């Protein structure tokens, strides 16, 4: 295991290494054992209940041998959540070549552009529906659905890849099951609880139950006898997008310096490594690799990207809010390396196979979103406030403990 200890700062290459670090630092006392026992019993009872509901609502026998003409895949999220779903979607397309596959993704309160950018061009689906809320809502004792949003959608098989069961929200999973029934599904898979959702008292043990999201579809597809198509670049190629992003970084494509991507923003402030540290990394890349350093992010992260550029004495190019998802994908394909927070760009970089250093806060365990990649180093720090589950944390001590030299060392290791 490649470990860098600096106030308990770790640099790891695999999900198993993270689990080993957690095991070595875990507290063992009667309270933790009782909590683990309670969650284990609760998950067992919840899954038994879901199995009974599924048995009552859907057919089950012989599902792996059946052919399906209409498949609906349901998920929740924006960029990263949908990128990690692509291996499962590719496996479904390979197995059911003649089926019409409809993907329904719920972006909740977040911008739908990310989900559309990832899934819109994908050849693994035939139809895409993007929602801003759960498709089924409760009115008293009734569950209702706006059928107008799903006109023309037929469903023989419903594949539930929503993360809510993995987060312990049984009410959401029951609504997803009802949604499948309302769409007319005869067969449905993917309704399973992993943990108990209550935060606070169970924070320190959640990592023992929550599954790794990029790898979770393995368990879902097992019932169909399928294996997700992992460790392949499943994102579409677009030469026009490639040329467009090259123009934006003032290169004509004939004689360019090595490109490095830095992504300093994230959905939550609690996941953002300090901008001055990103600036130091950008400066080092410019000086030691004669690199073109490109700062990425969405429009709301433009100010963060500006701070990184200023801190690097303007030795970087700010493209935050100026690229489409496809342009970002093509930029990552051209890049020699990427340094990023735990965010959607990290999963895009992992999928295209660029050497990536990912910086994780420890507000929750890195085992939850550790990417699928063979060219990856994840850095994280343990401390007294670890596993706080606070999206709004402004101190982020676990991130401030990670120094620029550790990130540079990790990137050098990947490049060499």
List of domains in the chain: 30-224 (3.40.50.2000), 235-415 (3.40.50.2000)
pLDDT, position 254: 44
The pLDDT confidence band at residue 251, using thresholds 50, 70 and 90, is: low
Find the mean pLDDT for residues 169-185: 96
Question: pLDDT for 64-88, tens place per residue?
Answer: 999 999 999 999 999 999 999 999 9
pLDDT of residue 387: 83
Q: How far apart are CA 75 and CA 88, in angstroms?
A: 12
Look at residue 255 in the predicted model and tell me its pLDDT: 54
Indicate the range of 25-29, 43-47, 57-61, 167-171 predicted with least confidence: 25-29
80-98: average pLDDT: 97
pLDDT at 1: 46
Instruction: Write the pLDDT tens digit of every residue in 114-152.
Output: 999 999 999 999 999 999 999 998 888 889 999 999 999
As a whole number, mean pLDDT of residues 15-30 equals 90
Residue 343 has pLDDT above 80, yes or no: yes
Percent with pLDDT over 70 in the chain: 97
| pLDDT reported for residue 60 | 85
Mean pLDDT of all residues belonging to the chain? 92
Residue 223 confidence (pLDDT) above 50: yes
Distance between CA atoms of residues 187 and 157, nearest Å: 5
Cβ atoms of residues 345 and 78 within 8 Å: no
Instruction: Give me the pLDDT at residue 165, please.
Output: 96
> Over the Cα atoms of the chain, what is R_g?
22
Per-residue confidence at 5, pLDDT binned at 50, 70, 90? Answer: very low
Structure-block tokens of residue 390: 């606070």
Q: Model-level pTM?
A: 0.94
Over 90: is that where the pLDDT of 265 sits? yes
- 312 closest CA partner among 332, 335, 339: 339
What does the pLDDT look like over 30-69, one tens digit per residue? Answer: 988 999 999 999 999 999 999 999 999 999 889 999 999 9
pLDDT the model gives residue 6: 45
Neighbours of 302 (CB within 10 A): 17
- Provide the pLDDT for residue 16: 96
Intra-chain end-to-end CA distance of the chain, in Å:
17
What is the average per-residue pLDDT within 374-386? 89
pLDDT at residue 394 greater than cutoff 80: no
Predicted confidence (pLDDT) per residue in 275-319, tens digit: 999 999 999 999 999 999 999 999 999 999 999 999 998 889 999
pLDDT-above-90 percentage for the chain: 80
Q: In what order do the strands lie in the sheet with 355-359?
A: 9-12, 376-381, 355-359, 337-341, 259-263, 292-295, 316-318
């Amino acid at each position: 295991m490649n470990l860098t200890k600096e106030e308990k700062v770790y640099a790891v290459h695999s999900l198993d290494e993270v689990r080993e670090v957690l095991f070595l630092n875990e507290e063992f006392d009667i309270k933790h054992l009782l909590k683990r026992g309670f969650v284990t019993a609760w998950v067992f009872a919840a899954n038994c209940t879901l199995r009974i509901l599924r048995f009552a609502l859907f057919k089950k026998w012989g599902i792996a041998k059946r052919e399906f003409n209409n498949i609906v895949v349901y998920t929740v999220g924006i960029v990263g959540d949908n990128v990690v779903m692509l291996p499962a979607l590719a496996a479904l397309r390979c197995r059911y070549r003649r089926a019409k596959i409809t993907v329904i993704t719920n972006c909740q309160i977040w911008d739908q552009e990310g989900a559309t950018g990832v899934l819109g061009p994908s050849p693994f689906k035939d139809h895409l529906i993007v929602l801003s809320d759960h498709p089924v809502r409760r009115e008293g004792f009734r569950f209702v659905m706006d059928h107008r949003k799903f006109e023309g959608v037929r469903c023989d098989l419903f594949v539930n890849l929503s993360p809510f069961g993995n987060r312990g929200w049984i009410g959401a999973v029951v609504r997803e099951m009802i949604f499948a029934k309302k769409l007319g599904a005869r067969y449905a898979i993917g309704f399973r609880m992993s943990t108990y959702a209550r935060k606070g008292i169970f924070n320190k043990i959640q990592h023992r139950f929550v599954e790794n999201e990029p790898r979770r579809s393995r368990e879902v597809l097992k019932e169909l006898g399928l294996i997700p198509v992992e460790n392949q670049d499943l994102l579409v190629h677009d030469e026009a997008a490639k040329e467009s992003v090259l123009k934006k970084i003032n290169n004509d494509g004939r004689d360019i310096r090595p490109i490095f991507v830095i992504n300093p923003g994230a959905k939550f402030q609690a996941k953002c490594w300090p901008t001055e540290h990103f600036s130091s990394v950008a400066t080092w890349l410019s000086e030691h690799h004669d690199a073109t350093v490109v700062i990425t992010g969405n429009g709301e992260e433009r100010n963060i990207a500006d701070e990184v550029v200023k801190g690097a004495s303007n030795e970087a190019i700010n493209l935050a809010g100026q690229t489409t998802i496809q342009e970002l994908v093509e930029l990552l394909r051209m890049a020699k390396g990427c340094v990023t927070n735990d965010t959607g760009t990290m999963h895009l970089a992992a999928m295209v196979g660029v050497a990536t250093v990912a910086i994780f806060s420890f507000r929750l365990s890195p085992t939850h979103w550790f990417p699928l990649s063979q060219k990856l180093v994840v850095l994280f720090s343990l401390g007294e406030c670890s596993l706080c589950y606070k999206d709004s944390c402004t101190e982020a001590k676990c991130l401030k403990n990670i120094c620029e030299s550790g990130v540079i060392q990790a990137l050098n290791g990947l490049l060499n």
